[in-house]
Copies of this chain bind each other. A is one copy, B any other.
Amino acid sequence: MSKIGFIGIGLMGQPMSARLLAADYDLMIWNRSVEKCLPLAELGAAIADSPEVIAQHCDVICLCLTDTIAVEAVFSQLQPHLKSGQVILDFSSIDPLATQKLANHCSTIGVDWIDCPVSGGVQGAASGTLAMMAGGRLEAIDKLKPLLANLSSRLTYMGASGSGQYTKICNQMLVSCQALVIAEVVAFAESAGVNSQLLAEAFSGGFADSKPLQILAPEMAERRFTPEKWHVKTLLKDLDMAVDHSRIVRSSTPMSGLAAQLMRLHAVAGYSDKDPSTLVNLYLEPHE
């Protein structure tokens, strides 16, 4: 079995690495802030001194980093030490165009770059039930399937490099627009005198149902805004990215575009670091 590197031991990277260790993979890890590596070392992971060491020793190099800038920064440290035949497996959600550039660059030196963003959150990472949307060379992805089976309950091959990242953007458009529609539905129901706490139950299993509905509608109805499990600013960043890329590929996305503007209105009004359930306040609170 090949040697696996994992760079980015954050909220997602930590449980994903732990699952690989539990599956007896030979794992070498690196994180900018080294202390996050220690619990994994106790589970058997080797701690690398630098990305360079990972590049020198590992066949598959997993990344799970904040954003495009972080991925590019780490890649610039890996790059001088990469060897033909290696695979970089990027779980981060980043810019599809940056991904395509990185993948092109890698292909010139015989390295595969696989974009493999995930959906399912920390919980999905811990339980190995992430959904993954992969882009890159099919043969390379096929070889990774046994590894990925430890992390994911659904892996969809989307096509050439960047396709995984584009698909992740689609995922976020659906989720973020849904959050905004739920907010206006909850507010409308209340204004009409309907007990909005019953909506999630009433729609359960039907055409109007979705996971965001089951989570957000009751929180909105009860004004239960803490603990924050995700942030308005994250949805806003996702929607802004959707608008940017729809512009680049010359496709009109009016619903996502309006959602971005409403999300911004809410963020600017002081809700940037709050839970998206606060969106109900956009419609029900006086803004004087």
On A, residues with C-beta under 8 Å from B are: 96, 119-120, 131, 133, 153-154, 156-160, 162-163, 166-167, 169-175, 177-178, 180-182, 184-185, 187-195, 198-199, 201-213, 240, 242-243, 245-247, 249-262, 264-265, 267-271, 281-283, 285-288
Please indicate the chain B residues that have their CB under 8 angstroms from the CB of A246 in the complex: 184, 188, 191, 264
Can you list 7 A-B contacts with CB-CB less than 8 angstroms, sorted by A residue number? A167-B199, A171-B202, A171-B206, A184-B254, A184-B255, A250-B264, A251-B264
Copies of this protein, total? 4
Please indicate the chain B residues that have their CB under 8 angstroms from the CB of A207 in the complex: 119-120, 171, 174-175, 210-212
Report the Cα distance A139→B249, complex, angstroms.
Answer: 45
Contact partner of A268 (CB less than 8 A), chosen from B96, B166, B206, B252, is B252
- Are A270 and B286 CB-contacts (below 8 A) given A173-B184, A192-B245, A193-B159? yes
Interchain CB contact under 8 A, A253 and B193: no
Where chain A touches its partner, the secondary structure class is: helix
Please indicate the chain B residues that have their CB under 8 angstroms from the CB of A169 in the complex: 188
Please indicate the chain B residues that have their CB under 8 angstroms from the CB of A185 in the complex: 170, 173-174
CB distance from A105 to the nearest CB of B (A): 19
- Are A182 and B174 CB-contacts (below 8 A) given A158-B198, A254-B262, A261-B253? yes
